[in-house]
Structures are given as C-alpha cells and as structure tokens.
C-alpha cells in the first residue's frame, strides 16, 4: 500500500511539475502550432488523462479496501464486545444465584440451630421434671416403708404374723432400686447438660 502510494505521489508530482525544458528561456519568437504539434499535444493530454483515470481507480479501490478492512475490524470488535458482555452478564447471574443460595443456607442453619436449642431445652426441662417426680416417688416410698416398719414393730409386740416384716423388707428393696435409678438418671442428665453446653460453645 505504501509502495503504491509513493509511486502515485511521484507520478502526480511529475504531472504537476513542468519539465526542465519549460524553464529554459525562450530564444525563439512564438509561432502557431502546426497540425502535428497539436496532435502530439492532444495525445499527451489524453495520456495524462488516462493515467489520472487509472490513478483515480487505484485510489478508489484502495479506499474501498480500507473501508472494508475497517468494517471487518469494527465487526470483530463488536462481536468480541458482545461476547464479553454476555460472559459478564452470565457471571453476574451466577454470582447473584450463589449469593441467594448462601443466604438460604445461612437461614436454614440458623433455623436448625434454633430448633436444636429449643429441643435441647425442652429435653432438659423434661429430665428435670422426671428427676423431680422420681425424688417425690422415693420420698413417698420411704414414708410408706417407714409406716410399714412401724406396723411391723407393732405386730411383733402384739404377736402378729411376720408378713408385715416381709413386706417392709420388700419395700426397702424397692426404695433402694429406685434410688439407684435416680442416681443414674442424675448422672445422665449432668452429662447431657455438659455436652449441650460444649456444643453451644462451638456454635
């Protein structure tokens, strides 16, 4: 492209510059041109016109090629821009979806933690209630055993059968078993409370 342009500019310069012969001082008086000279001048003008036409056509082709190349580059740039915009849009949508899912997970985690705390609290209250009822049951059994022992002692004094003594022994055995159950329940409750506090500390 640069080579052709340089040649074209050189050619235009030659057309625009007069020949060295024209710079020479005229030593002859002016004479009208004859037919041959006029014909030669006309041929020269036609040649110059033809060369100018060829040059103009070349310039037009170069202009069209340059415009076509520019349009192709603009098309490629526009295509790349559309692709980049689409990728950016997709990334934004994915980020929005990821953020929404993260919020959902956080809400679910919070709900599960609250439910876990409520269930543990309810279980702890139930265990305390059971322990209270077991303590009351033990107290009632001890009172009953004491009454039976009194009756047994009275029966011995009055010479009554030893059935009451057997019942008192059986009642004491039941009370002992109940006490062991209460102790086991108390130990289990204490351990469960400890595990619950440890878990709450890590949440």
Q: Could you tell me if 160 and 173 are in contact, meaning their C-beta atoms sit under 8 angstroms apart?
A: no
Cβ-Cβ contacts under 8 Å for 151 (sequence gap 6 or more): 164, 168
Q: 19: left (phi > 0), else alpha (psi -120 to 50), else beta?
A: beta
pTM score, whole prediction: 0.38
- Distance in angstroms (rounded) separating the CA atoms of residues 203 and 117: 11
| pLDDT at position 84 | 93
| pLDDT at position 1 | 43
* Regions of the chain short of the pLDDT cut 50: 1-4, 16, 18-23, 25-26, 160-162, 164
| pLDDT at position 30 | 66
Q: Return the ∠ at Cα 117 (arms to 114 and 118), rounded to 5°.
A: 85
| pLDDT at position 177 | 66
| pLDDT at position 106 | 93
Per-residue model confidence as pLDDT tens digits over 174-202: 656 666 766 776 677 667 767 766 765 65
Q: Return the ∠ at Cα 94 (arms to 91 and 99), rounded to 5°.
A: 125
């Amino acid at each position: 492209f640069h080579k052709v342009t340089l040649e074209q500019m050189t050619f235009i310069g030659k057309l625009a510059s007069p020949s060295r012969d024209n710079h020479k001082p005229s030593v002859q008086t002016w004479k009208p041109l004859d037919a041959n000279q006029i014909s030669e001048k006309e041929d020269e003008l036609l040649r110059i016109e033809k060369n100018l036409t060829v040059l103009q056509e070349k310039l037009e082709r170069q202009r069209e090629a340059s415009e076509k190349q520019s349009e192709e580059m603009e098309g490629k740039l526009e295509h790349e821009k559309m692709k980049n915009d689409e990728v950016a849009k997709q990334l934004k949508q994915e980020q929005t979806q990821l953020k929404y899912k993260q919020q959902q997970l956080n809400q679910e985690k919070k709900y599960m933690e609250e439910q876990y705390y409520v269930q543990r609290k309810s279980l702890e209250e139930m265990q305390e209630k059971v322990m209270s009822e077991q303590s009351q049951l033990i107290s009632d059994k001890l009172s009953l055993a004491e009454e039976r022992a009194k009756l047994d002692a009275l029966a011995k004094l009055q010479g009554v059968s030893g059935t009451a003594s057997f019942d008192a022994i059986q009642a004491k055995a039941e009370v002992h078993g109940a006490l062991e159950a209460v102790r086991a329940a108390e130990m289990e409750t204490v351990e469960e409370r400890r595990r619950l506090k440890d878990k709450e500390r890590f949440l």
